[in-house]
């Protein structure tokens, strides 16, 4: 593969460092890749209008990955360790720094966090407490390899999260909300109303949770709201279609690959090109241009998401999905933004309750799927039980559980609405940002419980 992308402002030093490193390791391997990174992350945490903590984390260094026959090796070097890179694969013990490129100057962040008191919701009821977090990231990367890749890119985004707490009858109830802005001006525009909007939504969710009364275990139809629906499909199908998981040929993945395992109504794709996607990128962390990968089309499985290692090892098509937390970690095949296109069903009709009632899920929380068996367990947030008479009753501490293949077979409606969300997703110890975009979806029956 020979890929060259346009060099972006502020990445010239990164490209120089990556090219310097590839010259020293490229002759010792059948394939070599160098990844250079300079990232600054800022987190400001506040409680009820007072700043609790400000954390600034700079990361800068180089990662080298080589393939010698069928064996892969990886090593990360901080900036201070760069003189040691030349002796990694050779007997040369020289620590001379004469030819080590100088690292670029610290970037101008151009970021001003929201003032702590600007989060406070004016005239909001009931009485509540607000914990807020604002995360700013400015990341520059460059990738050079022996197959001809020479790429560089920068990303910049701000993500805000609010946790509201409402006290009632001696108990405390939480509500969550989040917001994402990305692009060259992220964190610089006048957004005075946005913090209070995010906080107000969290307070409303906390208030609903405080009023919840329905508990116990149930089996009813379940409607997932926009973005929550694709969150479930990301877990049940998306992870199985990551190249390393797909190649394991587990019982669940084997059954998932059989015709009819996914309903013909389902189309699912990964899109790294979305302007407002949390996982979007111009190039992945291995220099491959981001694009659109069809995961499921009319119920038929498509292309697995691949990193360079999985593509070479299993002869997969490169998809530009090699992602890593930072230069110290190995790139893994990971989703960027998981998308389900709009359907044709009226969203209001999807929530029409049957005799046993219906659960509406606003947001999918933490949980996991066992890719060996297909069993899953997830928390669900911002949930409402719709009674047979159409009344909406808030429910809290909802857990969804069951078998993935049986659940997929119960999809019976895909709405014409659409929505998105920004979440974090973990794999092998690496937490990364993932975008979720979809319409509402209805399942004929799922098992769930509420506190």
Cα–Cα dist 280/7, whole Å:
18
Q: What is the pLDDT of residue 5?
A: 44
Cα–Cα dist 68/442, whole Å:
50
Q: What is the pLDDT of residue 125?
A: 65
Q: What is the pLDDT of residue 70?
A: 87
Positions of the chain with pLDDT under 50: 1-9, 93-98
Cα–Cα dist 184/180, whole Å:
13
Which ranges in the chain are annotated with CATH 3.30.2290.10?
A: 12-210
Q: Phi and psi for 172 in degrees, rounded to 5?
A: -120, 135
Q: What is the pLDDT of residue 192?
A: 54
Q: What is the pLDDT of residue 94?
A: 47
Cα–Cα dist 22/19, whole Å:
5
Q: What is the pLDDT of residue 93?
A: 45
Burial (CB < 10 A; 0-12, 13-18, 19+), residue 44, is buried
Task: Tell me which fold the domain 12-210 belongs to.
Answer: PmbA/TldD fold (3.30.2290)
């Amino acid at each position: 593969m020979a890929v060259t992308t346009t060099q972006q402002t502020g990445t010239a030093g990164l490209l120089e460092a990556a090219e310097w490193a590839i010259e020293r390791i490229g002759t010792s391997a059948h394939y070599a890749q160098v990844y250079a990174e300079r990232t600054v992350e800022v987190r400001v945490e506040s409680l009820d209008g007072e700043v609790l903590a400000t954390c600034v984390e700079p990361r800068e260094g180089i990662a080298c990955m080589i393939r010698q026959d069928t064996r892969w090796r990886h090593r990360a070097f901080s900036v201070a360790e760069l003189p040691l890179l030349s002796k990694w694969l050779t007997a040369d013990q020289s620590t001379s720094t004469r030819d080590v490129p100088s690292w670029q100057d610290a970037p101008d962040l151009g970021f001003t966090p929201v003032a702590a008191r600007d989060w406070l919701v004016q005239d909001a009821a009931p009485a509540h407490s607000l914990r807020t977090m604002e995360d700013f990231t400015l990341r520059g990367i460059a990738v050079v390899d022996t197959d001809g890749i020479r790429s560089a890119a920068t990303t910049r985004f701000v993500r805000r999260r609010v946790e509201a707490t409402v006290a009632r009858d001696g108990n405390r109830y939480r509500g969550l909300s989040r917001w994402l802005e990305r692009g060259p001006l992220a964190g610089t525009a006048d957004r005075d109303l946005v913090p209070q909007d995010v906080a107000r939504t969290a307070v409303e969710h906390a208030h609903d949770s405080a009023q919840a009364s329905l508990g116990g275990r149930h089996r009813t139809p379940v409607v997932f709201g926009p973005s929550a629906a694709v969150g479930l499909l990301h877990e049940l199908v998306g992870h199985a279609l990551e190249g390393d998981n797909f190649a394991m040929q587990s019982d669940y993945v084997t059954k998932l690959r059989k015709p009819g395992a996914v309903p013909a109504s389902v189309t699912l794709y990964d899109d790294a090109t979305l302007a407002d996607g949390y996982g979007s990128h111009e190039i992945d962390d291995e220099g491959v241009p981001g694009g659109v990968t069809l995961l499921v089309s009319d119920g038929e499985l498509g292309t697995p998401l691949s990193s360079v290692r999985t593509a070479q090892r299993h002869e997969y098509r490169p998809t530009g999905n090699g992602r890593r937390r930072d230069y110290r970690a190995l790139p893994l095949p990971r989703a960027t933004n998981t998308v389900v296109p709009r359907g044709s069903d009226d969203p209001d009709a999807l929530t029409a309750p049957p005799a046993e009632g219906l659960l509406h899920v606003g947001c999918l929380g933490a949980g996991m799927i066992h890719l060996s068996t297909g069993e899953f367990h997830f928390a669900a947030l911002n949930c409402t039980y719709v009674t047979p008479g159409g009344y909406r009753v808030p429910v809290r501490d909802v857990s969804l559980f069951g078998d993935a293949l049986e659940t997929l077979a119960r999809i019976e409606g895909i709405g014409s609405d659409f929505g998105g969300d920004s979440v974090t997703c973990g794999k092998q110890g690496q937490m990364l940002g993932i975008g979720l975009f979809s319409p509402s979806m209805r399942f004929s029956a799922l098992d769930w419980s509420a506190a």
